[in-house]
Structure 1
Amino acid sequence: MTRGGRFSLWAEDDMQISELAERAGVTVKAVRYYESLGLVVPDRLSNGYRDYGDEHVRAVAEIRELAAVGIAPSKATPFIECLGTGHIHSDECPASLAAYRDGIADLDHAIATLTARRDLLARRLDESALRGFPDAPPTPPADFTALPSGLPRPVDDGAADHLPGMALPPLVLPATDGRTVDLSRLGGPASGSARSIVYLYPLTGRPGVDLPDGWDAIPGARGCSTEACDFRDHFDDLRTAGVDAVFGLSSQTRDYQRELVDRLQLPFAMISDPQHRVADALRLPTFIAGGERLYSRLTLVVRDGAIEHAFYPIFPPNTHAQQVLTWLRENPLA
């Protein structure tokens, strides 16, 4: 059934704009806006009043649903026209599919812009913190290479029980040595003659940059720098025990991680995963501190691209590399 040359999916019921807005779940102001865009064209009664039918309810509801997924009303014309030609679904027409593609492209651009803006803010924060404040009285820098006493011990909540045997996802992430690392290719050649170690950590302290409030009270949070030092000091021993590569992995930026590698003279690279792609792919435990999502401390022994063993929880972190070394010696490669 048609009405004024436009589509109708139900029997016609004349209605006023307030009823249309109520039935479609929008405001009268929104309906007026859709009319100004030419998306809703009411009929006119003999007295000049606007007259709406069920086809207009359908159109307004479709515009609202499109807006919820990121298609602005100003770009909804192809979908409404598709319905107007008799299609049951508004995205059955080529022009609608093109509008979807344009919407995805707009989102990709927005994400890239916001990511670049965030990285710029993070770099400026780091640079500002390192410059310090010359008018403030000097304070001794925090020693991130030593653990304070009385840190709470993390408990095993089972969040890593599912990991052994899982294949690492084919994610390519940036490392501090300038290369990219394909996680699915870690763990030595197909012959199984080597292993890789990937230790995940929340964040490392840095001179002049405060740790999140209450950091030391979070079980397992403190000690990332001491953990890195322990892997540094036992790096050669790990290689002798059959490890082909060691990587640290966190959600911090590569520039932030690079400062740590240089300051602690680490013989291995760090992998940056600010979007937590590894955590989402492997269902890894994370936590929130300082308004940021951070990795829980966890270490993976990788062989032929799969997780052979997972260390979780880890405590104390300053001797964890030795714990990994002991496991490797007790479980030699065949």
Structure 2
Amino acid sequence: MRIGELAARAGVTTKAVRYYESLGLLTPVRLANGYRDYDEYDVRLTQEIRALCRLGIPVEATRPFLECLALGHRHADDCPAALAGYRDAIDELTQRIEGLTARRAVLVAQLHEAAHRNSRFSPANGEEPMTDYTSLPADLPVPEDDGAAAHLRGARMPQLELHATDGATISLEALGAGRTVLYIYPLTGRPGTDLPEGWDSIPGARGCTAEACGFRDHHQDLLAAGATQVYGLSSQDSDYQREVTERLRLPFQMLSDPAWSLARALDLPTFTTSGLTLYKRLTLIIKDNVIEHVFYPIFPPDKHADHVLAWLSDNAHRP
């Protein structure tokens, strides 16, 4: 058969076939007219070379496997030399993986150094740089009441289902009797992940982790004061929220609304930064599926759970 037919049957290019020949891996017969004549054995050899190369074994290192076939073995790796070829390839891959892992570690360290170089929070020697999201800078800008939540009191919760971090689906129109605390926040910080540029300068943006910790620490107090359940809600996906829930050991579930469905249904305030559309911070007290009270704007966020607890205590006997 001609070189084109061989290449097509073996799944390689004619250029690759010529390269195999230059290495002495293929030795076709030459016809009287000078053309190469390939047989079924050459197809088998070429297919073997291709399969070994796909495993990461260089073409030059396939010779022991081809020699094993030449000795009459059914499989190209039936010979000790072929097994040694596997081991050599594995050792080379291991060295490459170790080298890439070391390079990755250096890049991660460079990323942390660059991302946190001007942070207010400096790590101790030998510690991984990490922003302390639970502490708030003293000079955060105070958000102003822009009236974006004035229409919410008395509104019924919409027919909307959202995924929670425990895998359940929560129906917002059927939260049940009693008071539900639903605090809505923009974005929680995550170790090793940069916050949007200029985050601290956006009024009401910084403080989501501190706010979550406040609701965590007062969770039992909130229930004792009349709340039947507490939820956090943001536009982050459930996997992102689940990491926060586990890391902060939150005793309540987070609801994920990446499509801003609740914002559209209730005309909730949002803002855009670094290409992200995020919820503005606000909290809804929902009683019998109707919004009874709204906290907006919220500041400081690390004290917000105290304010919600105080309101619940003052209105515990309110019909």
TM range (shorter): 0.5 to 0.7
Which of 194, 200, 205 aligns to 1:210? It is: 194
Name the CA shift for 1:132/1:245 in 2 (closer, same or farther; >3 Å). Answer: farther
Name the CA shift for 1:137/1:160 in 2 (closer, same or farther; >3 Å). Answer: closer
Determine if contact 1:145/1:226 at 8 Å carries over to the other structure.
yes
Q: What is the letter of the counterpart of residue 148 of structure 2?
A: A
Q: Alignment partner of 2:152: what SS?
A: coil
Shift of 1:201: 0.3
Structure 1 counterpart of 2:203:
219
Structure 2 counterpart of 1:274:
258
Residues 61-83 of structure 1, C-alpha deviations (whole Å, 9 max, x = no match): xxxxxxxxxxxxxxxxxxxxxxx
The reply to whether residue 163 of structure 1 matches residue 152 of structure 2 is yes
Q: Alignment partner of 1:284: what SS?
A: coil
Shift of 1:134: 4.3
Determine if contact 1:301/1:310 at 8 Å carries over to the other structure.
yes
Which of 223, 228, 232 aligns to 1:239? It is: 223
The reply to whether residue 175 of structure 1 matches residue 159 of structure 2 is no
Q: What is the letter of the counterpart of residue 181 of structure 1?
A: I
Q: Max radius of gyration: which structure?
A: 2
Determine if contact 1:132/1:208 at 8 Å carries over to the other structure.
no
Structure 2 counterpart of 1:320:
304
Q: Distance in 1 between matches of 2:218 and 2:285?
A: 16
Q: Any stretches of 5+ residues in structure 1 without a counterpart?
A: 1-129
Structure 1 counterpart of 2:107:
133
Which of 119, 129, 134 aligns to 1:145? It is: 134
Name the CA shift for 1:132/1:240 in 2 (closer, same or farther; >3 Å). Answer: farther
Q: Distance in 2 between matches of 1:256 and 1:308?
A: 30
Structure 1 counterpart of 2:238:
254
Q: What is the letter of the counterpart of residue 259 of structure 1?
A: E
Shift of 1:132: 8.3
Q: Any stretches of 5+ residues in structure 2 without a counterpart?
A: 1-103, 114-128
Name the CA shift for 1:235/1:283 in 2 (closer, same or farther; >3 Å). Answer: same
Q: Alignment partner of 1:157: what SS?
A: coil
Shift of 1:241: 0.6
> What is the TM-score of this pair, normalised by structure 2?
0.61
Percent identical among aligned pairs is 56
Q: Distance in 2 between matches of 1:280 and 1:132?
A: 44
Q: Distance in 1 between matches of 2:263 and 2:108?
A: 40
Task: Give the superposed CA RMSD.
Answer: 1.6
Which of 199, 203, 226 aligns to 2:183? It is: 199
Q: Distance in 1 between matches of 2:106 and 2:308?
A: 38
Residues 1-59 of structure 1, C-alpha deviations (whole Å, 9 max, x = no match): xxxxxxxxxxxxxxxxxxxxxxxxxxxxxxxxxxxxxxxxxxxxxxxxxxxxxxxxxxx
Residues 106-150 of structure 1, C-alpha deviations (whole Å, 9 max, x = no match): xxxxxxxxxxxxxxxxxxxxxxxx988345286421011111110
Residues 227-277 of structure 1, C-alpha deviations (whole Å, 9 max, x = no match): 000000000000001111100000001000000000000000000000000
Q: Distance in 2 between matches of 1:261 and 1:132?
A: 29
Name the CA shift for 1:132/1:214 in 2 (closer, same or farther; >3 Å). Answer: farther
Q: Distance in 2 between matches of 1:295 and 1:302?
A: 18
Determine if contact 2:185/2:232 at 8 Å carries over to the other structure.
yes
The reply to whether residue 295 of structure 1 matches residue 284 of structure 2 is no
Q: Distance in 2 between matches of 1:196 and 1:166?
A: 14
Shift of 1:332: 1.3
